[in-house]
Amino acid sequence: MNIGHVFLMWVLSFAAAQGQNAVAPAPAADYRPIVKVKVDVSANEEIKSQIQEYLAVQFESLGDVQMVRENPDWTIGIVTTKLTDSSGTMRALGISFVIQQHGPHMQMLQALAQACRYFVSSGLMRDQTLEYQMKRLLMGVSVLSEGGDLVVVTKHQMSVILPDKLPQACFDIVSALEKERFGESENTGATVQNASDEAGATDVKGE
């Protein structure tokens, strides 16, 4: 049996032991843990305030989302651009959002690094190439740990909407977050894209 098989068996046995030692009541079927969400909005103050207000209402209706400024589980980044006509009247709004997930991926990397650290320090390694790769992984994880987080982009969307469709656009953003959290099949973004089709018929310029 080579060292790679031994390493894999050790990781699996460690995970199994952790699962057996964990004693906790089974959550209810409808249980949804509280998640912390940070919202970063780049827009003029009026639109920024509206977006934050609309999102706050949507999050409150979910009942399991807490808006925070630090240590989020998820971050929603939103950038908007006003599209005006020749008279300076806003005719449409360009909106782009990105959803980022924090935490779990860094935890998995740190668990893997712990296993690598054990094998490297034990002197059991007989495969120099594998040992070299493990040391590189340890170095990479240590650098990532200095930042305290590993962020993974799970969703990105750009659209053009009519100004009065901003509440619906915020609803679609929250729906997209829910889909990323639970993998649910939801009809998100339809209103935003329909509004984009309508706005596209007007001669507008970015501001």
pLDDT in tens, 90-141: 999 999 999 988 766 666 666 777 777 777 788 777 777 877 777 777 776 6
Q: Is the torsion defined by CA of 107, 76, 71, 140 positive or negative?
A: positive
pTM of the model: 0.58
Do β-strands 205-206 and 90-101 pair in parallel, antiparallel, or remain unpaired? unpaired
Ranges of each domain in the chain: 32-102+151-200, 103-124+131-148
Q: List phi, psi (to 5°) of 88.
A: 90, 5
Which segments of 29-103 does DSSP mark as H helices, in order?
A: 45-62
Residue 181: the pLDDT is 84
Residue 207: the pLDDT is 57
Stronger pLDDT, 3 or 127, i.e. the higher one = 127
Fold of 32-102+151-200: Rossmann fold (3.40.50)
Give yes or no for a contact between 92 and 141, defined as CB atoms under 8 angstroms apart: no
3-state secondary structure at position 76: strand
Give yes or no for a contact between 99 and 38, defined as CB atoms under 8 angstroms apart: no
Mean pLDDT, the chain, integer: 74
Residue 196: the pLDDT is 38
Give yes or no for a contact between 80 and 161, defined as CB atoms under 8 angstroms apart: no
Task: List, for residues 18-56, the tens digit of each pLDDT value.
Answer: 444 444 455 555 666 788 999 999 999 999 999 999 999
Residue 66: the pLDDT is 92
Give yes or no for a contact between 4 and 127, defined as CB atoms under 8 angstroms apart: yes
- 4 pLDDT band, cuts 50/70/90, is low
Residue 3: the pLDDT is 52
Give yes or no for a contact between 135 and 90, defined as CB atoms under 8 angstroms apart: no
